[in-house]
Structure 1
Amino acid sequence: MPRSSLALFLFAAAAQAVPEGFVIREFLGNAQEPEIYPTAVSAAANGDVYVSSDKNGSLGHKPGMGRILLARDTKGAGVADQVIEYTKVESPRGGHFVGGVLYLVHPPFLSKFQDKNGDGKADYNTERTLLVDGLGGGIEHPRGADHTTNGCRMGIDGWLYIAVGDFGAGLLRDKDGAIGLGDKKRVTLYGGGVMRVRPDGTELEVYTEMTRNICDIAISPTLDLFSRDNTNDGKGWNTRFHHFTSLANPGYPRLYKNFDDEIAHPLADYGGGSGTGGLYLSEPGFPGDFGESLFTCDWTTGTLHRHPIRRFEATFVAQQETFEKVPRATDFDVDGNSRLFLTDWRGGGFKYLGEGKPLTKKVMKDGVEVEEPIFYPNGIVQLITAKDVKPNVYVDVTKLSDTDLVKQLSSKSAVQRLETQRQIIDRAKPELAEPVLAIAQSGSEHLYSRVAAIFTYKQLIGAKANAALVVLAKDAAVREFALRALADRSTQLEGVPVQLFVDSLGDADPRVRLQAIIGLQRLGAKDAASAILAAAGKWPADESKLAEGEHYRLPHTAIAALARLGNAKACLAALADPAQRNVAFRALQGIHSDEAVDGLIALSLSGDDAVRFGAVSALARLYHVEKPWNYNDWWSTRPDDRGPYFEPVTWSATERIHKGIEAAYAKLPGKLRIASLEILAKNRIAITDLKLEGLDPLRLALASQTLRPADVLLLTDAALQVKLPWKQRIDCFKALHVIDIATGDKGDPYFPSRLKILGAWAKDATAPGEAIQLVNEFIYDSERFKQVGKLRSLADGADDATSTIL
């Protein structure tokens, strides 16, 4: 079979028909460009398609393998007939072409590229175009541009939202954070998350933190952010679908496993997979409700998903549908003419396979193992359009009069509205502010147009817009967005009234309340902490009775805001009110200050039992701080997820906390003592180092015939304690040997704990013969063959030490 025919055959076998009413065809493939290797795609409003092409894939290190391809359909035939190398660039990832500028992530950089002379090639100058440095690693990283920064997209608020993988953001050479080149501001992000920056490289900041390895961000016309995250190879963090709001903390890897009640929960967990591109489509020219749709791509499953969503509290509930199946979906975008572009990595490997070499698999033929090609194409770009629906026609904003330009903010197309906004801002005419504000004020305009006008108005005249926005906040239909615009820029807070945000904490709309909390934190309104606590005490927080997929976002955000405001005095005072107590304690455990510590110690020795127990729990969290990142280390694909810190270290107040816990423990009743031991163990405090009056917890656990969860934690912790004598550590292990280790079934709750201990001992060069004998007895026991399923399951969720003996 000819090579081209084989490729077509394999494509047909792997593809699934798009939904009724759509047509899919190859837009850019081997016929125009032999090796595309598309990591991402950005469609310009006029239909030009910018393809990030990187032969290195995620793990390669060869220089000169990256470029941006500009593909054009000049004949309107639905196929690219012109392909230009727009620019060479190492490790090109996702970007956004808007306002005549390609904003592109090419780790560790975010840059902007422009073609001012119209030759289809970028006029590149590093000093002019570099916006941010320090966004993860590129080909210089030992692992390559893998878990690095992967994409960016501009919202209607003018921010560039950056999808940061868990390489994090910082500069090893400077031992400091990533730097926005516009104002030299430094920001550190230890792990994955979302950062944002202005289009001129100023005001760099963290928007949300503690994700795994997100590749892209979908942004709605109402500034809701969504992303499909990556699985962590079997340790309980599967393909999570996030709704990002400011201050949200999804908890990877520090909180999701043992402190799940503290995280911003995902909209869904889809099991295995590798999330890649995302798009919030809000365009005319599509059948039914498809024009208002949230899409994500998954590389592992080769699926383009559509997600119907509905509002719940200040977040959403999401569903998932299959829109299209391809071998390796990487990204998805739309132009201003109702044309969708889907990139597919088919035929590419994790690094360059070599010129003309296909991706292969090993098969047996006539008793001989041979390599058989899976796909010849090294990536394609597909075009998806709607049948029998009039497409949108993009209006070139550069050719419009000022009057006609402003009118385009009322367009039904999100692409058109964003291009209109950028052109208005580029023209920098203050006289356009009044007609823009008129759209924002008009109750007859669509909400999306009013939102676009609000943020256009704010960006056009800056802090001078605040007075009108305060008035606009009286309109319930757009109050949420007026509040957001007022507090959104830390450099433009002049004249913003704190009381407006305090009053909005009681609004009927939970989305307004969310922006009130966020705004108070951004305003640094420390004195408003009491108001936040009082309001949060009235909000529902118990998720036990919620339907599947429903979660509260407001309590989580209130706690995060209070911790950042750091008003320990207000939080301590709020503990007198049972309704405010949970939020106050949670906030206090995030305030590492002497005032918080001393106040909690005092409360732990007086008051009722619930307050004492809560104080001990908060002190347990404050016992450690996160070890400062050295801007070099990465925690690997399967990090330590015990939490609540990745590398806990002591600080100046630890000794006082240690003594305070010892003193408070004696005042707790029996049941709360056991509960507090579990809290201390979860927070990775060496309980064996504590002098707990009236109880030797380790001795008690060793003597127990029936082990409680707290006993198991104590014995496991002691068996792993290098400070204890080996005889005592071995005794602790044997105390966990109540049930024959050979069973290893659901009836043996101590089996995982013993495995954890043996795994650590197997790697300990100081382990005595008796300890090694216990390790070997486990490994070579013939009963292991009966436990393959159980052991495989445990291996999937085990740390590296435990995995070595499984």
Structure 2
Amino acid sequence: MYKIYQTLLLPSILAVSLTSAKAEVPPELESIQFSGPKITPCPACLCAAATGEVFVGVDMLGSLGKGPGKGKIIRLVDTNGDGEADKHTVYANIDNPRGLIAVGTKLYVLHTVIPPNVGKLTGMHLSVLEDKNWDGIADGEPKKLISDISPPKHNQDRGADHTTNGIRMGIDGWIYIAVGDFGIHGAKGTDGTELTMLGGGVLRVRPDGTEMEAYTHGLRNIYDIAIDPFMNIYTRGNTNDGGGWNVRFIHHIQSGEYGYPMLFKNFTDEIIPALVDLGGGSGTGAMFLQEPSWPDKYNNIAIMCDWGRSQLIIHRLTPDGPSFTQKPENFIRLHQITDVDTDASGRLYAGAWAGAGYRGSPDKGWVERIVPKGWVYKPFKSTAKRNDQELVNLLLSESSTARLAASQELLKRPKAMNAVASIAAKKSAPLHSRVAAIFTYKQMAGPKAGKGLAKLSSDAAIAEWALRAMADRKTQLEGVNKEMLIPGLSDKNQRVRVAAAVALGRLGDKSAANSLLSVANPPGEEKPIQAPAAPPAFQTKAFKGLKTYPVDVDVSGFKQIYLTVTDGGDGDGEDHGAWFDPVFENGSGKQVKLSKLKWKSAKSGWGKIGFGISATGGPLKTGNGKLQPDGLGTHANSVIVYNVPSGTKKFKARVGLASTSKGKGKIQFIVSKSMPSVSGTSSSKEGPHAQPNSPIILPHIAVKALVDMGAAESCVEAVGGPNSRGALWALRLMHNEKAVDGLIAKYGSAAAEKFRPGILTALIRLYQIEAPYDGSWWWSTRPDTRGPYYRPIQWEGSEKIKSFIKSVWDKGEYRQVIATNNAKTRSGIEGIDIGKIANALQKPQKPTIDLSAIARTKGQVGKMSIEDVILALADVKGDPKKGEVLFTKQGCIACHTTNPNEAPKGPYMGQVGAVLSRDQIAESILKPNASISQGFATVSVLTKDNKSMVGFVTSESAEKIEMRDIAGQAHSFKVPNIKSRTELKISMMPQGLANSLSISEFASLISFLASKKG
């Protein structure tokens, strides 16, 4: 009998067609549609010129679509100030526009190239277009500033979703670029600078394409960048897919490492954590709003778009040392909001994707204009038409948009440099104006700015920004020396200390290493090395395929036995493991099947655990198809615990992958008498990767500076002294033989005896190094998070480290330190009896999908990202007749009808196929909270006799209302007896009700619904 609580309710299925094309704003604001889908469908990005022209990047490929000719930039103008664009031009035809910045007559654009004669993406670039006569049409082809800013292969295979996205200019004149976790391979600037980066982060470049460099690293799928007037940078990590990592709000500290995916779980003490984990969502556009025409409540705020929640969200920031703490607050609701920007008149523009789907739609999406109530339009005069003094005065504006426009124009007016410098020095000027003047002066004076900035650094109010500006350009360090920067390390202002540490790292003078070491010790006391779990009695390497391996373990000293299956680390979801024919055996050879005993506890990462069944619930078979009624099926990561019967001598079994994995999983089996210390098991603790940790920032940045300047000798010399902990932290990140030789030599020093565990820890960490990234692979949406390297390889110093560590082990010294670090780093140094952790190189999951296997695997929908499901549906047609059966079997009929003659229940499905595409239907099932069908909002009712009910209203009159609950049951309430009635912002349909379906089943359900066209 089908259980009613498993019903598949579909409340959002019509939402994309019925959602009001209007933003929901606070009462202090008002909104109007600026341009509709006929002009600006699929607005992937937008920007506003200071003078009010709006540029919209239309991308009708969406995140997963492919092919040429689907992208363009539309220029919109509101000539009469009524809030609606009344003039538009196609500024340029360009593929996948993903980021825009308007500066004067130039438009910077992040985009792909999909030549019509090739038909597929050949590259992604940062380029500049120009419209010198301001007729609304770019004068020529885009000029490349950075070529290949995202690896073509991943964009070709998957689409432009985890790719490089938003761009924004800071008051320092750099263009900051949000790099998704496709990473970068072989990006090249106009000056020949090349850069490769494994994974995501923030990149920056000068507006002419020179001096490209990484700003921060270790982010997942950031989409855009917010920059405040004081050069604080904020992003939201996008987690529209993947597991175990929600949307995180991040404050970026220059040179910081944020750890995704190799460090953020198990090496959290080495990263700068995010400020908060916000749960599910999809971070998109971002900006910092500072416009004087806005009410104080909504001014000077970081605002971040969340496409998945259809919300523009404020993060209220409170200073915390060199960083912040934050509180999120819903601000403006707009259907699948993509981007935001303001002009210098105070108009906020926002893009709404509005159900255009993963592959875009010519009929969905718009741009909204939002202003305060009572706002009066005041035209902003072009900076090109202002004289020098007007521009200097504009730096005193309360509008960050106006100040940036003035700053950029002033770079063309060298005679105004002294006047700009005078604002920087003017103590009565607003702080944001002084900061704008400092960076404008730096850009105007270039390499000659050092002396003037050094003088400004003596003013405590602006010291932080003067120090930043001094070392802002590595090509302009003439006249800058360590004596100008070192005093900042001891400043009472923690932000000044961090700025000084960053600047010293950029200066690269190794003679400043001791000063950096003085602030590099991590906060708190050093924690003692915990003894590792007892060495496993049995452990395989990680393996895949159909082969099984024998287990014959002496358990005579065991009170309990732990049977562990761990993920092999390739991101695959096919880890259906099995203990075939497991038995306990006593001294006389008598055996007891585990299937006859009761386990003490059993946990797995997914699916079912049981005898005779696979993790999918199907019959358990070996890889060659032999039935295993007494085999114990499970799924990584799992731990099954049994009490060992008295008199038992042996545990015997064979281990391998169940037939349902098709040999495609990759797993490791462990037998131990206590919980093994293996990443992924319940004994493996995840670090606080989304909790503010301001005390770690200065040591972190000092260590990064020491590593960047290659100060191995100074760090080795410091070991044994008061700065040992910071020195050892830096040394374990220095893969050079000077560091290795120095650590080995230092181990024998009497002065360093106390720090020998730290020396061993550093050497074991250095045993492997990250393999050079060649751009041919990507870790997909569920990467291996064990760390500290993703694709570890040995290097020139590895053999020397191995010999030394083995010699210490053989002497019986610090064995628990060696064993623990050997296991934690997955180094696999031979001869360490803790047992080798999986040491085969992991080949990350490719972005392609093996559809033949997925379509036959039960429960695959619940194990895949939403985007991977959408990709799979494109090639799995499905059977509408089977879908009709599933519509009943899955309980959809509890709340939906497909026949107009049936009594209405919830949202009517009889014509859904005429309204929505297959992708949109699938998305509505997989993401029920993305939008709510009109007329079927979730309502909470409380009666006067204290009875409560949550459901949706199916009918109502003046006398009564009728509702259905989540189980589809009808309820009736008399209106006079209702105490309160509240409309909730959530769907009645719980997320995940399609998780038990295979791709072929889900495709059949979608095909059935798509066939319903009224």
* TM bucket normalised to smaller: 0.7 to 0.9
Give the deviation of 1:541 after TM superposition. 8.5
Matched to 1:22, the amino acid is L
SS at match of 1:535: coil
Q: Which of the numbers 20, 27, 34 marks the counterpart of 2:34?
A: 27
1:52 is aligned to 2:54: no
Show the 5 A alignment for 1:69-218.
69-107=74-112, 108-126=124-142, 129-137=143-151, 141-170=156-185, 177-181=186-190, 183-218=191-226
Residue segments in structure 2 that go unaligned for 5+ positions in a row:
1-13, 113-123, 528-686, 843-991, 997-1014
Cα distance in structure 1, aligned partners of 2:408 and 2:692: 37
In the superposition, relative to structure 1, how do residues 541 and 149 fare at CA in structure 2: closer, same or farther (>3 Å)? farther
In the superposition, relative to structure 1, how do residues 602 and 233 fare at CA in structure 2: closer, same or farther (>3 Å)? farther
Query: Which structure has more strand as a fraction of its residues?
Result: 2
Show the 5 A alignment for 1:204-283.
204-231=212-239, 233-283=241-291
Q: Which of the numbers 815, 820, 834 marks the counterpart of 1:697?
A: 834
Give the deviation of 1:515 after TM superposition. 1.1
Cα distance in structure 2, aligned partners of 1:60 and 1:24: 31
SS at match of 1:94: strand
SS at match of 2:159: coil
Q: Which of the numbers 13, 17, 20 marks the counterpart of 2:24?
A: 17
Aligned residue number for residue 678 of structure 1: 820
Matched to 1:147, the amino acid is H
Cα distance in structure 2, aligned partners of 1:148 and 1:460: 34
Cα contact 1:316–1:550 (8 A) shared by 2: no
Show the 5 A alignment for 1:208-607.
208-231=216-239, 233-353=241-361, 377-388=363-374, 393-427=379-413, 429=414, 431-537=415-521, 549-552=692-695, 553-578=697-722, 580-607=723-750
Aligned residue number for residue 641 of structure 1: 785
Q: Cα deviations across residues 632-655 of structure 1 (Å, max 9, x unaligned)? A: 222211112211111000001101
In the superposition, relative to structure 1, how do residues 63 and 16 fare at CA in structure 2: closer, same or farther (>3 Å)? closer
Cα distance in structure 2, aligned partners of 1:304 and 1:56: 23
Matched to 1:163, the amino acid is A
Q: Cα deviations across residues 466-523 of structure 1 (Å, max 9, x unaligned)? A: 2111111111111111111110011111101211211111011111111111111111
Cα distance in structure 1, aligned partners of 2:187 and 2:366: 34
Give the deviation of 1:10 after TM superposition. 2.3
Cα contact 1:15–1:324 (8 A) shared by 2: no
SS at match of 2:157: coil
Cα distance in structure 1, aligned partners of 2:62 and 2:338: 12
Cα contact 2:519–2:702 (8 A) shared by 1: no
In the superposition, relative to structure 1, how do residues 46 and 546 fare at CA in structure 2: closer, same or farther (>3 Å)? closer
Q: Which has the higher contact order (CA 8 A, sep 6+)?
A: 2
Q: Which of the numbers 800, 806, 814 marks the counterpart of 1:656?
A: 800
Question: When the two structures are aligned, how many residues end up with a matched partner?
Answer: 660
Cα contact 2:23–2:31 (8 A) shared by 1: no
Give the deviation of 1:302 after TM superposition. 1.4
SS at match of 1:243: strand
Query: Which structure has more helix as a fraction of its residues?
Result: 1
Structure label with greater radius of gyration: 2
Cα distance in structure 2, aligned partners of 1:86 and 1:95: 12
1:66 is aligned to 2:71: yes
In the superposition, relative to structure 1, how do residues 542 and 410 fare at CA in structure 2: closer, same or farther (>3 Å)? farther
Cα distance in structure 2, aligned partners of 1:490 and 1:312: 29
Matched to 1:66, the amino acid is G
Deviates more, 1:106-115 or 1:646-655: 106-115
Cα distance in structure 1, aligned partners of 2:841 and 2:454: 58
Cα contact 2:203–2:216 (8 A) shared by 1: yes
Cα distance in structure 1, aligned partners of 2:757 and 2:188: 43
SS at match of 1:631: coil
Cα contact 1:568–1:596 (8 A) shared by 2: yes
Q: Which of the numbers 33, 38, 42 marks the counterpart of 2:43?
A: 38
Q: Cα deviations across residues 216-273 of structure 1 (Å, max 9, x unaligned)? A: 0101111111000122745432211111121111111111121111111001111112
Cα distance in structure 2, aligned partners of 1:232 and 1:85: 31
In the superposition, relative to structure 1, how do residues 44 and 236 fare at CA in structure 2: closer, same or farther (>3 Å)? same
1:620 is aligned to 2:764: yes
In the superposition, relative to structure 1, how do residues 598 and 269 fare at CA in structure 2: closer, same or farther (>3 Å)? same
TM value normalised by structure 1: 0.78
In the superposition, relative to structure 1, how do residues 285 and 251 fare at CA in structure 2: closer, same or farther (>3 Å)? same
Cα contact 2:197–2:773 (8 A) shared by 1: no
In the superposition, relative to structure 1, how do residues 8 and 239 fare at CA in structure 2: closer, same or farther (>3 Å)? closer
Cα distance in structure 1, aligned partners of 2:526 and 2:31: 46
Give the deviation of 1:73 after TM superposition. 1.0
Cα distance in structure 1, aligned partners of 2:188 and 2:689: 42
Give the deviation of 1:539 after TM superposition. 6.4
What is the alpha-carbon root mean square deviation over aligned residues?
2.7
In the superposition, relative to structure 1, how do residues 619 and 80 fare at CA in structure 2: closer, same or farther (>3 Å)? same
Cα distance in structure 1, aligned partners of 2:824 and 2:525: 23
Q: Cα deviations across residues 374-431 of structure 1 (Å, max 9, x unaligned)? A: xxx511111111013566652321221222221111111111111111111123x2x2
SS at match of 1:200: coil
Aligned residue number for residue 804 of structure 1: none
Give the deviation of 1:609 after TM superposition. 5.5
SS at match of 2:787: coil
In the superposition, relative to structure 1, how do residues 389 and 54 fare at CA in structure 2: closer, same or farther (>3 Å)? closer
Deviates more, 1:387-396 or 1:410-419: 387-396
Cα distance in structure 1, aligned partners of 2:55 and 2:522: 50
Give the deviation of 1:548 after TM superposition. 5.9
Cα contact 1:616–1:664 (8 A) shared by 2: no
Cα distance in structure 2, aligned partners of 1:665 and 1:605: 15
Cα contact 1:606–1:612 (8 A) shared by 2: no
In the superposition, relative to structure 1, how do residues 540 and 527 fare at CA in structure 2: closer, same or farther (>3 Å)? farther
Cα distance in structure 1, aligned partners of 2:516 and 2:377: 47
Matched to 2:815, the amino acid is R
SS at match of 1:592: coil
Q: Cα deviations across residues 87-143 of structure 1 (Å, max 9, x unaligned)? A: 0001101111122211111141101111112221011234xx211101114696211
